[in-house]
Structure 1
């Protein structure tokens, strides 16, 4: 229960609904326990009056006596039926409160997990598989819901019913009660032993389910690669191995759970036999009536489902504990990037940027990406960051967006520490086009307006023109209303890059970050886009991270990175004049390629 204790805050949140449900459980069981007592009175009445009925045989009084006895028995029958109806009514209210409560908590828990996922840093997502994240949000929460609803409801019902039934049994005969309940200690020990096994097996099953989800998600996301290499059968075989492992683990759990019900039935049957034998001897001794034996048998059978449900409830609790443990692992993951200025109002960004002795190491891999990096950029200036793969170019964009926080040094924006800006305000004023383009499974129009909700259709179309993708969109059957498919699968690589660029430009940002976002664009289209960057974005601070040179763009600064350090810095003319270095080599290579064309 240590892991499930995390859910106590939700029980407190819905405490009045929970307490009302408990009252309904109490009321339902109160009328349930009254039914055997009515039956006992009726049975004793019949047994006690059989002798008198036979004495009146052949007389007119016998018929009257039978009529009066029938009316009394009809009254007891009606009373039993009334108690059954009241019991059913309160059971309905019980489910309407406790089960509905579990659904409300399920919603809150899923929302909490989803929002916590959103706050976590990028290193978390690089470390964990999407399938595993989804399994905890769906399968694990569903198993926890079974604890919050049915397990709690039947658990509370079990406690109240056993207390009330055993209390009623003790009021009749302490001796008979003790004999009848002899099997219960054996039952308790069996439950303790078996549920400990269930807990271990449940954890293994949930872990394997996450593996299956991750595998399926990767195959579906990379279906183009799978098909192009003709690896469908191999992936199906691999998936079959994982499914087989899941099946074996599940069957192993089922075998253990299958021990519960037969064990319950045997022990309850033993209690019934003991009640008849011991009860019969007590009737002979005149200590109890024959109706008490019937009452005891009804009580014993009344305990059959609650006692049997102990195993079922215990299984649910163990599974929920295993699932909640997995959920807690992620919920306890601390947010690496703290929003220290949350709730404050920061002035609009002008776009001046300064890195002072900035060093950063990726927390998930331990790779040192930047080493004592220094550079500055005035508001409205344009800078290109060039370097080989792994030199730290994209890391600069991540740090400006505060996807990560630096280890050493300081990042200043408009002369203030970047931490002084609330995260939402900082990111709203920065437009970022990542190297790995991602489009949502939605319309093109909604994808462009994603970062700037409320924009008109005219503004969306204008942003598409700036990104030189307007004509491509209009050539589609439904234009801007066209669905792009999952991850933009219906568009080409260049089209996806330009839609992503339009999504950034429509924000009208103070700072524009372009991370190699024109790699899949032809020369003509590139010229159209860079023309926009030179004119409309002339007053915006722009950082372009690239592997290539844009001759049509005049950069105020060009920074060349190597292993997280600045090895060259200056204007195009200054770097070319050196006649050496990475930038000069790149320039010469690109010039030769253009001449050959």
Structure 2
């Protein structure tokens, strides 16, 4: 957890101020019992009203100074802790943004959300407590012991007997709680995972009448987390009853032995009152320390999880020496590309080689799991190849910065993804500088202008999170418009026409051909009708190239392609 405190650097002066204020507040608190003892031993015992009033005013001033220091320190501590949380969240988010899909697969989305929110909140809360207590509590304990000894050294033996007992209880309970706190955060990940799957898959769950199953699954994860939380609470709750018991027994012992020493003339009444207050301050400070020990184990577990993210280096990073001039034409070449997903038993693609030339349409087709989308992921460097290379205008994509590489590509994913905002905002996502005319032109080419014009507010119509207020075909067309407005050198359509009817599909392909004549176009498709007129068709089978050629050439030379065509088209259409 200490390693995370490096993010406190912008607030270092505030931390110094908090330390100084808490020091003054502690001194004020330690001075008050002595003033009270003087009032009793001098003012009350001798009937000196003027002394009582004078010292009373001094006590009020000291108390006011201590209160002011405490309130100011609390305000600064709160702002510092909140600022620290903001900085850590920002750094975690920025670091995660650089992760490849491999790191996301490793941590999982639900865990990443928990680490960025709940885990950072746990550390932030403990930081607030530490700034208030890390100086105040030890100073009160040490200072209280010194002042108590100055009043009566022998009576201080009561504290000598009690303090080790309290310390032992705190250490024992903390040692039992730390593993459980770590387990709680893992189980919170699981709960978030189940909840996220339930919310994102609600249509499928209801369509298959699996609501009861999901409710039970969530209940099991929730119950598991609750059991662990109750177990931790039971262990931690032991501290407070023991603290109160030892505190009260200590005060009874102090009053008992103190009265004896007063009776023997070794101690004055005011000193006993002051001693009792110092004992209360010492034991109260130990209670505060125990509270910190209750929070620190969970925060420590959270800090480990946060550091695990921050210490993970992205498996895909920009090269130390980036090529000065990025490719501009967009010719794409796959050279003996081989790739395996982490943990997979066999490669997803093996020795794949083909070229997609500028101004041509290159289509990739194959059965489910043949590796079509994998090639797209490799081109965009979501993953890096295990063997071979992918080149754009002769330059290996690993020699380019990820930003410049992806800046050349207009990507339409297999699953259309829209963001909350307006229709225009979603199209402009592909090019922030796009004008209204460019947005409307991209929509026209993508065959989206017609349904957009029927919306109540047109291009300013609201888009729900995930685009749930649009149909699958509408979302695909908006995703295509988003890629078109980018005006890239390379277009990648990853099965992006699957939700379109045949008429719209044909009109869209004709419009795209005219719009993208000077660009490289890669189309991943399941439907033969979508790619029949492509300049080059790459047929994949079980991760390997089964054939490359035009539609007619492949019908004659590639058995795999012929089977795909015959399963989709009639004999008249094939002829």
User: One fold, TM greater than 0.5?
Assistant: yes
Aligned-partner SS, 2:197: helix
Which residue of 1 is the match for residue 29 of structure 2?
A: 32
Deviation at 1:588, TM superposition (A): 4.3
Cα 1:280/1:444, change in 2 over 3 Å: same
- Aligned residues of 2:19 and 2:131 also touching (Cα < 8 A): no
CA distance in 2, matches of 1:520, 1:436: 10
Is 1:307 the counterpart of 2:286 in the alignment? yes
1:352 and 2:349 are equivalent in the alignment: no
Does 2:88 match 1:109? yes
Moved more, 334-343 or 225-234: 334-343
Q: What displacement does 1:220 show?
A: 1.0
Are 1:15 and 2:17 counterparts?
Answer: no
The alignment partner of 2:463 has SS state of coil
RMSD: 2.1
Identify the range of structure 1 (123-132 vs 510-519) with the bigger mean alpha-carbon deviation. 123-132
Q: Secondary structure at the match of 1:346?
A: coil
| Separation (CA, whole Å) in 2 of partners of 1:594 and 1:189 | 88
The CA deviation at 1:13 is 4.5
Alpha-carbon distance in structure 2 between the residues aligned to 1:166 and 1:552: 85
Question: How far apart, in 2, do the equivalents of 1:554 and 1:240 lie?
Answer: 53
Secondary structure, counterpart of 1:135 in structure 2: helix
Cα distance 1:224–1:471, how it changes in 2: closer, same or farther (>3 A)?
same
Unaligned runs of 5+ in 1: 51-68
8 Å contact from structure 1 (residues 180, 274) kept in 2: no
Structure 1 range deviating more: 217-226 or 130-139: 130-139
Aligned to 1:502: 481
3-state DSSP class of the match of 2:478? helix
CA 1:574/1:29 → structure 2, altered by over 3 Å: closer, same or farther?
A: same
1:423 is matched with 402
Q: Distance in 2 between matches of 1:7 and 1:361?
A: 35
CA shift digits 1:531-589 (9 cap, x unpaired)? 122111011011111122346874332111122222211223322343x5222333344
Preserved contact between residue 448 and residue 499 of structure 1 (Cα < 8 Å) = yes
Q: Is the 8 A contact 1:527 1:552 kept in 2?
A: no
2:570 match? 592
- Aligned with 2:455 (options 476, 487, 492): 476
Offset at residue 348 of structure 1 (A) = 4.8
Please list the CA deviations of residues 170-191 of structure 1 after superposition, one character each: whole Å capped at 9, or x if unmatched: 3333222233332110001111
1:421 to partner: Cα distance: 1.3
Determine if the alignment matches structure 1 residue 572 to structure 2 residue 572. no
- Deviation by residue 1:414-435 (Cα, 9 ceiling, x = unmatched): 1112122111111111111111
Of 176-185 and 313-322, more deviation after overlay is shown by: 176-185
1:47 CA displacement: 4.8
Partner residue in 1 for 2:194: 215
Stretch of structure 1 that moved more, 132-141 or 73-82: 132-141
The separation in 1 between residues aligned to 2:539 and 2:59, in whole angstroms, is: 89
Find the aligned partners of 2:531 and 2:347 in 1 and give their Cα distance: 34
1:529 equivalenced with 2:508 (yes/no): yes
Shift of 1:23: 0.9
Q: Deviations over 1:213-252 (max 9, x none)?
A: 1111111111111111222233223322322222222222
- 1:546 to 2:534 alignment: no
Using a 3 Å threshold, how does the CA distance of structure 1 residues 473 and 543 change in structure 2: closer, same or farther?
same
Determine the structure 2 residue equivalent to 1:66.
none
Corresponding position: 1:183 with 2:162 = yes
Matches of 2:55 and 2:250, distance apart in 1: 27
Mapped to 2, the partners of 1:276 and 1:234 lie a distance apart of 63
User: 1: distance between equivalents of 2:109 and 2:321?
Assistant: 28
In 1: Cα distance, 2:72 partner to 2:422 partner: 45
Q: Where do residues 182-581 of structure 1 align in structure 2 (5 Å cutoff)?
A: 182-340=161-319, 345-550=324-529, 554-578=533-557, 580-581=558-559
Whether the 8 Å contact between 2:43 and 2:51 is mirrored in structure 1 is: no
Aligned residue-pair number: 574
State how far apart, in whole Å, the 1-side matches of 2:397 and 2:348 are. 19
User: In the alignment, is the contact (CA less than 8 A) between 2:43 and 2:49 conserved in 1?
Assistant: no
Structure 2 equivalent of residue 120 of structure 1: 99
The residue that corresponds to 2:561 in the other structure is 583
- 1:80 equivalent to 2:77? Answer no
Distance change >3 Å, CA 310–CA 334, structure 1 → 2: same
Change (3 A) 1:169 1:516: same
What is the distance in 2 between the residues matched to 1:231 and 1:207?
Answer: 26
**Unaligned ranges ≥5, structure 2:** none
CA distance in 1, matches of 2:363, 2:62: 82
Most deviating of 528-537 and 348-357? 348-357
Segment of structure 1 superposing worse, 460-469 or 472-481: 472-481
- Please say which structure displays the higher CA radius of gyration: 1
SS in 2 for 1:558: strand
Q: Which moved more, 1:311-320 or 1:552-561?
A: 552-561
> Once the two structures are superposed, what CA deviation does each residue of 1:109-147 show, in whole Å capped at 9, x if it has no partner?
111221222221213334544332212221111111111
**1: CA distance between counterparts of 2:435 and 2:283?**
66
Aligned-partner Cα distance in 1 for 2:386–2:280: 67
